[in-house]
Structure formats: C-alpha cells, structure tokens
Chains A and B, each alone.
Chain A
C-alpha cells in the first residue's frame, strides 16, 4: 500500500466538488464483445492453438538431433514440425478429410497428422525429406486446424455441427473428451511456508528437461539446503561455497548485512568452518559425498568424480530454472541467497509467509500445456526408439542403405496421445509424473452441463485430506473463479469454475521483455556485488521467477511497462507488479495465469466513454479496439492486487482508483449466471442450482437430432425463461433452453406436497408440460477374426411349427437389424448377431467348413417399451462394420419425477391433480404447479419470489424481465407493472378452491417460475423383486437394479429387528429369503458331511440335516481349506 500517495489533504471534500461521473450506459455490451474473442472456452482453444502452432515446433527444436552410437556419422535432424488438418486414414496412404460429427458417429478419432521436415543420413548421403509423418495429433474442436473454425452458421449446419457448441474438447474413438483445467502452484517461484512449525522456502523448478524441488529450511536454528537428489541436508554456507562464493564476507553480503540477518547467519558460517570447508572444491567434495547413490550407472558416467557430479548437480538440478553458463554460479548463488533471506524475514515476521492458496501463486494448466508435456515425452521416446533401431541395424551389412524413415512408426505418438486423452492418465516419464483423471467425458446432459464442464478447474489437491484452507473461498478468486459453482461433498471447494470474463494466459516469449526491462533501467546482477544488490534503494526485478536485475527506479519501470502494454508494444497479458515487503518487482509472461479485463481509470475518469460504447453498439468498435486504444487492459491476480478497482462509476475515488469493473455480474460463472436475482438468495442455494442446472434436460444443441449418444434427454417443448439474465443471453441459454415456465401457486394442497413435493396439473401435462424424450443407443461391431471368419447378422427366425416370426424377432427387418419406427419391448432383439466360436482353425481352402455360430443378439432391456428412431450402419477405424441403433422414449411427468426451480429448490411430483380440482383465480387461470410455501422460510430463496413477480409482470407487458446478478429489474418497477395491469401489487391473487368452489381464505402468491425437469425419473429407478437371480458363489440374491437384485435388509435394519426381538422375522429375512441351504452335519465330529455321509468318520450313523445360510457353509469350507476346522455341536432343539 506504500505505493499510493493518498493525498488526503484537509479539503478531502474535493471529491464532492467534482462533477459526478455518469454511469456508462450499456457498459455490459463490452461483455459479449469480450466473449467473442476470449473467455468461456477460448482459453482451451488458445492454449491448444499455441501448442500446435508454436510450442510443438519448440519441442521438436529442443530435441532436434538424434545420433547413434554405432555410426558416428549418422544423424537425424528435425528441421520443422507441422500439425495438419483433420483427416481419416483409409489405408494405403489415402486419407480423407473428416468432420467432427463423422468421428462422433463412426467412433473415430478426430485427429490430424503431425509431419516433420527432416535431414538425415542414408548410406553416405545427406537426405532432406519433407512432410514425414511421425504421429497423429488429436484435434481440439474449433482450434485453428479444426474444420469448424471461421465457419458461418450455415456452413456449420452443413457439417452437422451446432453453432452454439463451444468446442474446446477432443473426440477420441467417438467419445467427446475434455482435458480439465488443472490448478497447481506456480513453478519457478519461491514460496515461503510453514511446515510443521519450521519455516521453509521452496522452489519447484521446471524446465523442459527437469522438474526438481529445492528447499531452504531451518534445522536446529541453522539454514540448510534440502533437495531430493541429496541424501542429506547441506549447510547453506557449504552450498554457497560449492557455487564458488567462497569468502564468508561475500556470502553475508549476498544474503544481507542487517544485524538480524548476520545474527541468524552466523551459526551457518560457523558450521562451515567446523566442517573445514573453505574452498569450492572442498565444498563440492562434501556435496559429492552426500549424493544419492545411483543404481544404474552408464558406462561413461563411471569416470566422473563425485566433485564433477556435485558440480553438475548444482549446474543442472538444484534450482534448475536458473541457468548456469560455463559453471558460473553467481546468479544461482544470488537466488539461493534471496531464498535464505526470505526464510529469515519470515522467521522475524510471520506476515511474510506466503499463502499457497492465494491465486497469484497459482497457475492453471490447460489442454495445450498438458499435451505439450505428453507430446515431448512421446517424442523423446520416439527418438530413443529410432536411435536404438539405428544402433541395431546400422552395423549389419545390407544390400540397401539403411533408411531410418522406414522405421518411423507414427503409431507410437498417435496412440500415446489417444490413450492419454481417452484414459485421463497422464504419465510423464521424465518428470516421474503420474496423474489420473485429467480428462473426463464431456457431459451432454444439457447445453449448460457441457459448457460448465469446459470451464471446470480441477485442483491437484487430494480430495480426502481434511483441510479447509484450499477448499474455502479465497478473496483473490474475485472475478476469476465463480464463488457459487462448486460441487457439494468431497470435491467442495477443490473443483471450481471460471467466471465469465476470465482468461487464462498462454506464455509469451521473454527476450523482448527482458530487453525492454534493461532499457527501462534494470541493471544486470552479474555486474553487481552483494552490497549493491541488497541496497535499500534498489528493487530487484524478477521475470517469470528468474532474476533479471535490479532497478533503482522501480516506479518508473512499472510505469513504463504498463504504458508499453497499453500501447500494445508488449503483449497485453504481461503483468508487472511490485512487492514492497520484498522490495522486488515481478514481471510475468508465463502461461496459466488468471486474468480479466478492466476499464482503465485515469485522474478519476474512466477512459471508456459513452461514445466508445455507442461505437460498440453500432458495430464499428470491437473489444480488441478497446485494448489497442489502451482503454481496457487485462490484469492478472497479482497485478489486480496492486490496483484500486471501483465496482461502479460512483465508487471512483479520483486520487486512488486505477481501474473500473466492466460489469459486476461477470464475477459469476456460466452456471451461476442462469440464476435470476442470485444476489437475493442465500448463497448455498445458488451453489445447489449450479449443480442442478447440469442435470436439467432441455436442448443440447441444434444438432441433437443427428447425434447418437448412449443417453440423451430432451424436452419436447423447451422454453426460454420469462426472467432472463444477461449471462443467459451471452451464453445462448435462451436459444438452447432447459426448462419450462410453469404457472406456480404457492400454497398448500392436499398434504401430498410435504417435504418439497410438487402438485402438478393433469391438464398441463396433457398439453405437453414436462414432456421429455429419452434417447438411448445400442451398438455393435461386426468383427473380423484372424482365421478368416467374421461375425454375421441373420434375418428374423421363424417358428418351425407356425412359420411365424418368433416374438423376440418381430421387429427385425430382413437384414436382421431392427426397423426404424418399430416399437421394441423388453427382451426383443435389436440386432440378430452371431459370432463364430473363438477356437476355430483357419478355414481350409476349397472346403467350406460348417461353422457353429453362436447367437450373440443385442437385445433391448427395460420395463417400458421404446421406439426405434434410426439405425446407422457404417464402419469404424478397424474397418469393421459398426451398427448403431437409436432408441426413443417419450415420457410424461409422473409421480416421483424430479423438478427444480433455478434457486436450488428441488422437489418431486407428489400428486397429479385434475384441472377441475385445481384452484383457479378470478381470471380463470389454473396453476400448472402448486408449491408448498414451507419451501421458503428456511431456504431464504428470495430470488425465487422476485422471479415469480417479474415473470408475472413480464407476461402482462409481453416482455422478458431481467434478473441479472447485482442488477436486473427492480421489484418496485415490476410490482408497479403488475398494478398497472390490475393485479395485486404484491402478486397475490384471490383463488377459489376447485373442490368446493368457494374462495380460499388466503391470498395466493402465484405467477410463472422457470422450472427445470431433472434427469432423475421414476421410470429409471423403479424396482421390485419377489424372486430372481442369485450370485453364483454365495447363492445370495444379486445386488442392484440392473441385475434385478434384491432389496437388502442392511445392518441397521437388522439391528432394529434384533432390538425388537423379532427373531423369526430375522431368520426369514436373512436366511430363508436369501441363501438357505440344507447342510448335513456329522454329530460325531461336528464337520460338514456330504450326502448324509461323513467323510471324516467314514460313517453315516450320526449325520443330521440342518438349515443354514449357504454363505455360512461356504465359510466353513474355506476355513477347512486353510487348515482350520470349524466344528458344529448339535443339540435337540425342543
């Protein structure tokens, strides 16, 4: 805060003298304009574009040469790498352009070839080969190489694609996969934290080759360096000496010469003397002795001495991101000294401890960077494989010269990437990194669920740990991550969602920034001694966690940088901010920072003025123009915390304010944006709605009828909500809605509405309210086997006696596949497939062998019949026939179906009432739904009551009202509108009972509320069983609805019965109704006998038969097999 010179003069009233700043009209229009270029899923796409266009080339360049050991002349050099356009390989090097929808339908992978230009040695010649295929890259939809980019809505429709589909996901073997945004601590930054009471400074260095962690910790009052590669901690002074800072004075100067620091450092220096380490070599030898012993030493590594090893350790492994040239460790020593200094500061002042949950210390990893890691790993393995092939083959004498190109298998990289994305297991060998669940199948339950998934942020934090820190709402999340949208339960606070205007940076190159910094007065540290570096007048400048130099005029530096950024001379996403406690200036250009646009305020006035907005309205100004003109800039979390941001124009303080918020509702994310008046609700209710909006059915895209998903729910008559919000329009929810406006009466009716149950009007249902379509698909492939046989499909079988088609095959067409439009009932065959037996010798030629095919029909299961919507016959990537059948059900709401409003108020249908029994008002309006008023007091969803009012007024006026967060139509205006149209100001009407015909005593609050039908329907859950299948091993009833399982009388229920003393009931439930077994027991020896014959006694003299659970008998047998003999002693019972 030292930065701001608050000119708090005596006449602070100057603020009052100023003309008040008028609120900009239609300022929110900047949001859609922003969303055109950034935000929502654009970060995925930007990151992936950066990867396939820039980073992949860098990776190939970093690993550009492959040599081989057997021929010193042989080499391969990669000149360039490209990712092509999506196609399908159709064998014989023929490829065909493809579309995402084709891949979805045909279970293919939407991918593009990765080609390289190479230069290599063939025989004795140097050969250049262009466009050599080395692998395939799964393509992100709507990325730069995708066929969907820059297409008009009409063209998208021709490609069977929905124009509102956000893209940003992959299609792997027909499955839509999202690489979730991963949140982690930023790399290459010092983080000072308290670990088990001791202060430590930790740096996770990450370079292309290495990922290491270096700690400076306090141990017995002394500072030591700890690293994974070292078996023991190293006194810090030794570390300095190993890095060539040999004199104690120099060490002290680097760390700092304050009294406190000197006092703290003295024991460390002493330590070094006690160890008798004075020179660099002595120090290195000491470190060398602490090296972890490597198991497998390669041949040439043996020659190296521990000193060399230690020197290499310091050069490349410890603090790997600080580059060392020619073993000049000076910069690294300064870096280490700063780490020590931070620890000392934190010891003196607990406030200096960093907060690891602070979002400035976090980086979000996106698809691009994750794929880059994966690709580099695979590429290295690919090169290693080439090398080992060359090693093996070159020494052999051959007729043709060795051509490495023939040994390039594109399958390695392609399958590696496909497998990683489809399984979500990210195994990076060189970092020893293993992560699971990185990808998820894109949920297509509703448009919102798909969009919500694209903005999801996954934390690396373990879900089982019980710490509140990482889960709680961090103030620095403001505007970056949605405060409402997080799941309940174990993922609470760990899985988050991006806010509407968040952008995640992709990295931009450091050199121009470093050069600019030098021109702006940053001096290189390599030329300065410790005393100068630690001089109080000087601020140290970091660029992406690396020391860049020191600056004597940090304010000017920051000002220059910001000016350059606003002029567009450096990337808009470079951030610069000071830290006054550490006396440093940080410049960041790395990827994964959260940032967000703000209007710049200068001298108390926002630079964006009304005419700018008017230009925007007229379409002659875009968001980029605002950036280019320096009216708006992006701030990341760190820089945001160095700024003063006013929420509204009225809040601008002319001396302090630096920025102005564009629109406050953008602090919410996509899902929370659907809630009308969320600022009137109790906050958990908005969170519940965020979870439920993803289960609401409606429309999933304009191409929903062309899709063949395993499960799809659609509403027959979806409606746009009467009370919209800006977010709804921005994300096109009004075009792809998921719900219907129900006229709701808030009153009690019949007692079937307790516990949030809803009463529905039968006539409304008859007229189509809540009607939904459920699509399921069945699929099969016709495999071809190695022994020249293949699966086949037969036409319908006929009954031998009557000649009629058997019932199970009634719906089959002549081709053996169910015909579209037919009704399918339980256990009917959809595809009459047959399979040859598995062990079959190759068919001998000439003699057609009779093969006994086995029936493997695809049958329909379900208590309610379906209709066949369509049948697709195609081929998949293995050239096998692929048959997909889409089944359809139309479902009408029934008792037990779940509905929810947009305020986290879910309820099941408790009763469906005839229209004439429903209450009606003066105008003859009969509600579609009755909701019990007890739902309100404890939930405090005031937003819902306002939605009802605004919806009712909107009906009268014939317009949509807005319930945008922190704005929207005012209750006063809405009520005035109601009054104007002759309704009660408070929205309460007189209702008559439909049963008695007399007016109800209370006035009823009624009007339209947007209700969502949730995917949980009775029909999918109903289950009962009298008898049925049993598990083979235990003979107990199977478990679960899908296996027609029994209903378990669990432990707690058992306890109840024991407590009650209902022993016979218990016996029946637990044994007779489950796995009763009549076992023979030998009275003499107490063991199980078989068939009235005791094998142990060799007699049947004393065998009696008793009833026991089969599981018990099984236990006895299992015990017996482990040499434990359970014996039963039988007694006469009565």
Chain B
C-alpha cells in the first residue's frame, strides 16, 4: 500500500523525479537508465556501494554533470537544469560531505554571503533582525556571532543545512551528511530534518551507506548497483538484508577475520608524557601515557577534536611533539624514514588523499612511497626502476581490487574508496609490526569496510601492535581488545572490550 506520489506539498516541500538518467564518461557508463522518484515531503535515502553511481546521479540532478539521457522534473513540471544555479533557482539545494563555509567569518556573515545577490553595502542591523527571525522559525539553532572556525563538526553540519533552508531551498540533497558527526549529533540532525519533512516543509534525499540511519529515519529508499537501478521501496516494507541484497547483489559479503586467541607479546609502542600543540599553538595532547602490546588492538574512542588527530600526526611525523617521548621496541622513535622501516611501522591515516598520497603522482608511485629507495625499486640506492614499480603496483592493484585505469593514472583521479585501498595495499604489503589506524572506514561502503577491518584484524593476529583511533564505536567494539576514551587531550577511561559498557564510554566521551 504505497502513499500517492506528491509533486508538491501544500507546506512547500518539493517532489522530484529523475527518469531514465544515463551518464557516460568516455567508455564507462556511470549511470545506466536510472529512474528515481522522490515524493514531496518524504525522507528518501539513496543507497549504494562506492562507485554505484549515487554521486553521479545527484550531480546530474544538480546540474554539475549533463546527463546523456533522461529528464528531471522538479515540482509540477520537467526542468532543464544546466548548472547548480538553475537548481538553486528551482529550490533544490545540496549539502556536501565537505564543508563549504568560510572559517574566519561568523555564522551570520556566512549566511548572508551565501545568498546569490549580496548588496554592495550590507545593512547589518536589518540583516540581523531577518536572521534572528529566521533562526526563531528553525527547529535547530547555531549562534550567529561565533566564527565558523569555533564550531564543532556537528554544528557546522547544522549550519550547512540551515544555509540551504535560509536560501529557501525546499528539496535538500545530503551527501553522506553524518560522516563527520558523532552518533548523537547524527541522530539529532537527522531527527530534526525528519520532523521538517513530516511537516511538509522540506523533502530530503540523502546519500548514505549506513543502514542504521536508513532504517531509523528514511521513509523510502532507492538502491543503485554498478550504475543501474537495483530497487526501491518503502523502508517499512524492507528488511536490512533485503536492502543489503539489492545493494551488493548475489555477491557474498566478506566476513571479518575472526580474532585469534594469541598470546600478547612484549610492549611494543610506548608513549610517555606526550604533549603536542594544535595548529593554533594550544595544547591538544597533554601527559599522554599509552602502551600498545604486540598482538593487541588498542582502540581510542572520542568525539573528534579531542586530540586524536594530533596524536596520530605525531606518530606519523607530521607534527612535532612538544614534550614526552615515543618508544618502539624500547628504542626512541622520531618518525624518521630509517626508524619507520626498522620498526615496520605502518599507518592508515584518515583522509588518505590529504595525508598519505600525492594526488598528481601515479598510482604506482604512490604505492611505492614506503619502498622507493629500496631494491628492487632503487638500483644502487639511487636510480629508480620504474618498470619494477609498475609491476609491483599491478600486483597490488589486483590483490587489493583497486579500480584504476592503470598503474600510471594519477592517484587523484581515483574515487575515495579506491585511494583508500591503494594506501591500504601500500601500508599492509609488507610484514607489519606497528600499525596505526585512524578512522579507516570513513565514507566507505560496507563491503570495503569489512575488508579493511579484516585486514586490521589479520595484522593483529600476526602479532602486530595496533593502535586504532576511531569515531565509530561499532568499529571499536568489533576490533579492539581494549578501549580507551580520549577527552580534551587526555586518556580518561580504559576498559577491556568484553567488559565495555556503551553508556559508560559515552559518558566519558562527553567528559563526565
């Protein structure tokens, strides 16, 4: 019993239909005759694996791409959307994975700036009154006078959504809106959006691969698989496994490697009294003591911005420590190339393209960052052997299923998930003794997630000391042997995972 399809809602929400959308990039068909209908006032989820065509579909709707075939209807009639400005004029707005705010400006300034016509002289008194009135009518608020740089990720995401509402957009596309939020923040934002859709003020189309959020918030779901339409339906009529099957087809979901009951070895990574400063010169970490033993996964939980990033950067050699020391295998460690090689330290940082890759160098070159100065890639320690690099890269590409036109393609042209795989291939290609991982599964689809988690578990089972920094508690519960909570630059709580209590961890994450 389906609800009737609504093109417009009396309270303002817009419906949208995309019919027969096809988009080709050269020889690759990214989108093949996909049809999606989003009823006015509904909360619609667009589900699919990496490279399933979700972003392509949405970009065609927004006018970033020109679909080769297909029509888009917004509200009552078919529309020609040639660019994002046309989409905004129709009331269709998009919130991106990455923030599009000016950090140095206040919330009020960001909102006024976002309008398509900002007067040459802004009458701030009038604007302030209008903004106050606007905020008063919103289900959630962000302080107007605070600079954006001072907002937490959740507040920034709220501001992005408020910005779309301020621009009077009535159809909102969200690209993985919760990837930067804690579970609590995600629930808050999604709950508020859902309330607005219930009131018929707004239609929401959200790109996601988090089943939990689909089950909890979406009314309807459209699933894409390898650029094709794979199914649609009301969430209430579908089970998790129905959706999983639509999403990945008949393929078997790889299961995570099981935890072996191996003996814990010697203390391998020892951090004592570590202090580090953040970009603003303030202490981000203080008096941090931590030991990771060989053969265990130590998980660090915490709301982002409590010093986790700085900790990983110190271990990666990307940030100097202000005090304290790091020892690996008893030896002082300063993140030099020789030490990294000697201790077989590997690192999977978050945002791999920003932290671990050179976008304009090739996939093969990026895959040899750890070993380009060792034989067989370097002859005589000095001459590069390009064909050996390319050959080794080809093996890694097929072993780790990296989708790339070839080893010579610049790594910046690969999709996020494939960049992640390429880094994983490079870091785990050799025997690992110390593995440092930060949010490895950010924005990845769940087949890739379970693959990466199984790789981490295998490294642990082989006797590596693993430090896992994650904002995903499910991930920590699955992988970690011990969970530590980081708050305000300190480790404030520790518990063995089997005895861990989610609510206690949550309280410590919140600083109680």
Say whether A associates with B: no
